[in-house]
Structure 1
Amino acid sequence: MLSHLTLQDFAVVSRAELAFGPGMTVVSGETGAGKSLLVDALMWLTGARADAGIVRHGAERAELAAEFSLADAPAAREWLRENELDDDEACQLRRVIRADGGSRAWINGRPATLGQLAALGGLLVEIHGQHEHQALLDRGQQLALLDAFGQHGPMLAEVRDAARRWAGVDRELAELARSGDVGERLAWLEHQAGELADEDLRPEALEELAAAHRRQANAAGLIQGCQAALARLAGDDGLSLQRLLHQTQGELARLAGDEPRLAEVLALLDSAGIQLAEAAAGLERVHDELDLDPARLQQLEERMARLHELARKHRVPLEELAARRDALQEELEGLAGAGERAARLGRELEVAAREWQVAAARLGQARARAATALGEAVAGLMGELGMGGGVFTVALEPLDTTRPTPSGAERCEFLVSANPGQPPRPLRKVASGGELARISLAIEVAALGLDAVPTMVFDEVDTGIGGAVAEVVGQKLRALGAERQVLCVTHLPQVAAQGHHHYRVSKAVEADATHSQVEALDDKARVEELARMLGGVEITKEVRANARQLLSRASGK
């Protein structure tokens, strides 16, 4: 529900702040005073394209702001939450339009696009009047209103769920089809995975292979080096480290009797002798195990070459071949049952399509009944609203599609003939703005606020009518205000008297500039404003009495 509206340097309004409550609020004023500017402001706040002409002459920019309570707008609350623009139970829309034509917008203090303003605004405000920005002209909105009128929510949910299931299975089948010929892919995967499966690709196995290859490739040098080291450690010919160590130990042992500290040195030499012996034994073992084997070397080189060739083939480093093998095996296992999976998905697609057809047919039958009832109700109200003999029908046309749709199997078109003898035409093609506004009012009253939008705005819905019809229009608007917040711009006292709240727009010239002012009217001021709307140049006691009578009738007193 709209709670506050602020305008600054907007057209002829320098500054205005309005508070709104539940029920029906009327806005009146002399011709040219700017009473429809409030409707225009809401249009720009809910996504209309910027027009520099709305900036007050001499000002740099126009600023508009509206605050809404979301207690009666669950769809708007959900939209704000999904777009991470929520702020508890309140919503503020703000828009600045510069004199050069640029504009900026905010939702709850955060920058927003015009698309976001329009999407959210469509969930908060519905505008009816003599302009093209009418939600009821959209065929999607017409179908939504028909479903709301018929209370088709549960059936529509079944249709949506079935369509969603069908779409999900269809996507899986499409992904499976994009894999190409499954048989060819399986054969290729089996060959590639088989090549890698024949090799030991464990990291420790690769390290052992590389070490064995290096050892065999350098066997001659290793044998020669081991032999030279053994000769130096314990060679039979010439000096060796072990023989020199023994000689040194003997010489120092003879001297140890004269110098006790040499005993520590002798102990260290004994330890060194033990380590030299162990080193020599280790060298002998290595030397004995080394073997010049050209056949073994060739075998290792062939295996190394095979592994490097596989790495080049799969375009991965040697150490990543194992991961590549696992990935191929996983895909192979996934496609192994592709044929069975495709058949299963095909069956599931048929089941989902049948479920959608059954649910859509049930919804279509309910829509046909609701279309008849809505058409009769709106046609009857059209007669009350001064369009006697008019015809209103709701046409349902089957959708030309082979894919289940979330909205059902048909689309909706509101057809209307405002005058007897004329064939019904689509509501969006009705030429008369006044007729269009009253037809929209009749539709909303027939639906009695069943659509989810909490605030409805009617701009000059009383154009071209008067007398008793005008009073009926006012009564219908007041009845609608019991279900939804209604804002009505009017020039007829019979309509204005029906409001729960009343604003008057007036204009004045100050310092060669025109200013519009908006003021809330109390009971006494309402009588004067209704008297002005009823009377001529001079407002008499009789005119005021007539105004009070209108207010009394409207309030049921």
Structure 2
Amino acid sequence: MLVNLSIRNIVLIEKLDLTWRAGLCTLTGETGAGKSILLDALALATGARGDAGLVRSGAEQGTVTAAFDITDDALVARIMQENDIPCEGQIILRRVQSKDGRSRAFINDAPVSVNMLKIVGSALVEIHGQNESQSLTDGPVQLSLIDAYAGHQDKVEALKAKYSHLKYCEEQLELYQNASERAAAEEDFLRHALEELETLDPKEGEEEKLSNERTLLMNSEKISGYISEALALMEGDKALQTALSGALRQLEKVAEQAAGRLDTTISALERAVIEADEAQTQLLDASRELIHDPQRLEQVEERLFGIKALARKHGVQVDQLLATQAMLRQQLDDIESGADRLEELQNNVENAFRDYETLALSISTARQSAAQKLDTSVMKELEPLKLNGGGFETVLTQLEPEQGTPTGIDSVQFMASTNPGMPAGPISKIASGGELARFMLALKVALAEASEPLTMIFDEVDAGVGGAVAEAVGSRLKLLAESGQVLVVTHSPQVAACGHHHWLISKSVDDDTTLTRVQELSSQNREEEIARMLSGASVTEEARAAAVKLLGGQL
């Protein structure tokens, strides 16, 4: 249930804080006073598309904050829990709209995506605009109403998952069949390419190893020359080792008399002698191992250029040749064992279709039963809504399972007649705008017991009707509000009189600035407003008496 609505800098509203109540809440006012602004603001807070035009002139941004009591709302609580958003009995939706078009969304002060805000908002509020009843003519909407009445939305969601799985299995089968056809046509090429790779037998990391060896072989003569020169320097009369050893012997002669002052130096010289000897030994080893071998160089280059050429042929890096070889082998294996894989994929499709068909048929049966009960409930509502002699029937047509959709194997059409003796026809062709609105209201009343508690908003659902019909619309709205909260924007005094609570929306001009104001009416002010609605600009005593009578009839 909507508890509070705070609006800042939205269109004609500079600052507005409203506290809402349970039951039927009516909103009235002159045309153009700004009633639709309230609905636009609430829609923005519940995830509607943002619009920079909603920001009040002169302001940088507009903000709408809507607080809801969700104590008895299991659906919203589940959504919040699934998305790890903490809540304890209350939820606060906030939307910030900037004049540059950017928009930010928050739930309980935690930033969320606008899509997340819309998911939660749609579970909290249902808004029916002036043309919303036209959706009653839309097949998917009609089917969703049947499913809501049947109370098996969880099964419909499971069916969507099964349908997705079926399509996935079909896609995998088609892809495999196409790949198998291409592979079969390329079998000779695959065998030749695989044989070529297996003959060359590339090894992991071989390119780097061969490149390093090639570089070494190409420069072996030069390297050997420098090693020889280094050895000659190390082995000559003025060799480093000789100098180091001589210095070490001289210091050792006086080490005992130096009282430890030469110990560190002697240790360093000892290490230097050892390191120099080790360096000389390693140079000797490198000199013996480094052999100029033109034949080996030719072999290395032939191997290196061979694997590079094969990599270019397959359009891959050298290190990817092993993976290419495995892929070619797998493709040939697939061709050879294609029948088994094809049969496996065909079985997957058959099993997925059987699962989908079983659940779709079960849902279809439940829809037939729910449709009959819904028709009976709606028919009971037609007479109170002054559609006497009218009729309502849900026609469900079961498709072949192969023609199924994510929502099942049923197509639906609401059929209606508005006068006795008139043949039933599609509701879109039979009912006028006002009649459609009343059929929608009848459906909502019939569906109320099967629906989650939520705030329902009707924007001039009484458009095009008056007198007794408007009074009937008001009474059904009041009935609908018994199980929740209903907000209705109305120009009808009969509907306004049915409300449990009443707000007046007005427009004023202060310092060349137009502002919309909202005021909750007391009993006396309410009588005056309904009298105004009955008589127009000049309120007469007769209108006041009629207003008292209208309100008295609702007590």
Q: TM-score, normalised by structure 2?
A: 0.70
Unaligned residue ranges in structure 1 (runs of 5+): 234-240, 250-259, 262-267, 553-557
Cα separation, partners in 2 of 1:403 and 1:167, compared to 1, 3 Å: farther
Distance 1:327 1:139 in 2: 52
Tell me the equivalent position of 1:538: 541
CA contact (8 A) 2:69 2:91 kept: yes
* Aligned position for 2:183: 182
Question: Which residue does the alignment assign to 2:203?
Answer: 201
Question: Is the deviation greater in 72-81 or in 434-443?
Answer: 72-81
Structure 1 residue aligned with 2:326: 329
The 1:517/1:544 distance shift into structure 2, 3 A limit, reads: same
Asked if 2 retains the 8 angstrom alpha-carbon contact of 1:97 and 1:104, the reply is yes
**CA-to-partner distance for each residue in 1:245-285, whole Å, 9 max, x for gaps?**
9xxx9xxxxxxxxxx99xxxxxx9xx99xx89x98x97999
Report the CA distance between 1:146 and its aligned residue: 0.7
- Tell me the SS of whatever aligns to 1:483: coil
Distance (whole Å) between structure 2 residues aligned to residue 9 and residue 285 of structure 1: 87
- Report how far residue 183 of structure 1 moved: 3.6
Is 1:432 matched with 2:422? no
User: What's the secondary structure of 1:448's corresponding residue?
Assistant: helix
Equivalent position amino acid for 1:67 in 2: A
> Take 1:466 and 1:474, find their aligned partners in 2: how far apart are those partners?
11
CA offset at residue 186 of structure 1?
6.2
Partner of 2:478: 478
Kept after mapping to 2: 8 A contact 1:176/1:342: yes
Larger Rg: 1
Question: Contact 1:147–1:153 (CA<8 Å) still a contact in 2?
Answer: yes
Alignment map for 1:221-236 (pairs within 5 Å): none
Judged with a 3 Å threshold, the aligned counterparts in structure 2 of structure 1 residues 199 and 49 are, in CA distance, closer, same or farther, namely closer
Question: Hey, what does 2:64 align to over in structure 1?
Answer: 65
1:68-467 alignment runs, 5 A limit:
68-69=67-68, 71=70, 90-94=91-95, 105-108=103-106, 122-128=122-128, 130-132=130-132, 135-177=135-177, 179=179, 181-183=182-184, 188-189=189-190, 191-197=192-198, 198-199=200-201, 201-203=203-205, 207=209, 211=213, 286=288, 302-316=302-316, 320-321=318-319, 323-329=320-326, 332-333=329-330, 336-337=333-334, 339=338, 340-398=340-398, 402=402, 404-428=404-428, 432-448=432-448, 450-451=450-451, 454-462=454-462, 463-467=464-468
Q: Counterpart of 2:383 in 1: which secondary structure?
A: helix
Inter-partner Cα distance in structure 1 for 2:504 and 2:521? 7
Residue 14 of structure 1, CA deviation: 6.1
Q: 1:154-195: per-residue Cα shift (whole Å, max 9, x none)? A: 542442232132123123224434535234566655544444
Could you tell me how far apart the structure 1 residues matched to 2:412 and 2:473 are? 26
- State the secondary structure of the residue aligned to 1:499: coil
Q: Are the aligned partners of 1:213 and 1:301 in contact in 2 as well (CA < 8 Å)?
A: no
Change (3 A) 1:510 1:420: farther
State the AA in 2 paired with 1:69: F
Give unmatched runs, 5+ long, in structure 2.
243-252, 255-269
Output the CA distance in 2 between the equivalents of 1:527 and 1:303: 101
Specify whether residues 335 and 534 from structure 1 end up closer, same or farther in structure 2 by C-alpha distance, changes over 3 A only. farther
The change in CA–CA distance for 1:73 and 1:446 in structure 2 (over 3 A counts) is same
Question: Kindly tell me: are residues 417 and 302 of structure 1, through their superposed partners in 2, closer, same or farther at Cα, counting changes over 3 Å?
Answer: same
Residues 130 and 433 of structure 1 are in contact (CA less than 8 Å); yes or no, is this contact kept in structure 2?
Answer: no
What is the rounded CA distance, in whole Å, between the counterparts of 2:287 and 2:96 in structure 1?
Answer: 90
Separation of aligned partners in 1, 2:160 and 2:184: 36
Shift of 1:490: 3.2
Report the aligned-residue RMSD. 5.3
Q: Secondary structure at the residue paired with 1:372?
A: helix
Cα deviation for residue 357 of structure 1 reads 1.7
1:407, distance to aligned residue in structure 2 (A): 0.4
The one-character-per-residue Cα deviations of 1:492-530 (angstroms, maximum 9, x if unpaired) are 555334433221234567779876542112445445555
For 2:168, give the aligned amino acid.
G
The CA distance in 1 between the partners of 2:311 and 2:509, in whole Å, is 88
Q: What are the Cα deviations for residues 30-78 of structure 1, in whole angstroms up to 9, with x where unaligned? A: 66655555445545666478696x888x877995625142726676678
In structure 2, give the amino acid aligned to 1:439: F
Contact preservation (8 Å) 2:27, 2:505? yes
Contact 1:459 1:489 in 2 (8 A): yes
2:262 paired residue number = none
SS in 1 for 2:412: strand
What is the count of residue pairs matched by the alignment?
508
Q: Tell me if the contact between 1:91 and 1:107 (Cα under 8 Å) persists in the aligned partners.
A: no
Following the alignment from structure 1 to structure 2, what is the Cα–Cα distance between the partners of residues 117 and 543? Answer: 44
Q: Secondary structure at the match of 2:483?
A: coil
In the aligned structure 2, how far is the partner of 1:506 from the partner of 1:290?
102
Matched residues in 2 for 1:211 and 1:48: separation?
66
Structure 1 pair 417/63, CA: closer, same or farther in 2 (3 Å)?
farther
Partners in 1 of 2:127 and 2:225 — Cα distance?
Answer: 99
Counterpart CA distance in 2 for 1:62 and 1:299 is: 75
Aligned to 1:27: 27
TM-score after normalising by structure 1: 0.70
Letter of the structure 1 residue corresponding to residue 375 of structure 2: G
Report SS of the residue matched to 1:385.
Answer: coil
- Counterpart code for 1:385: L
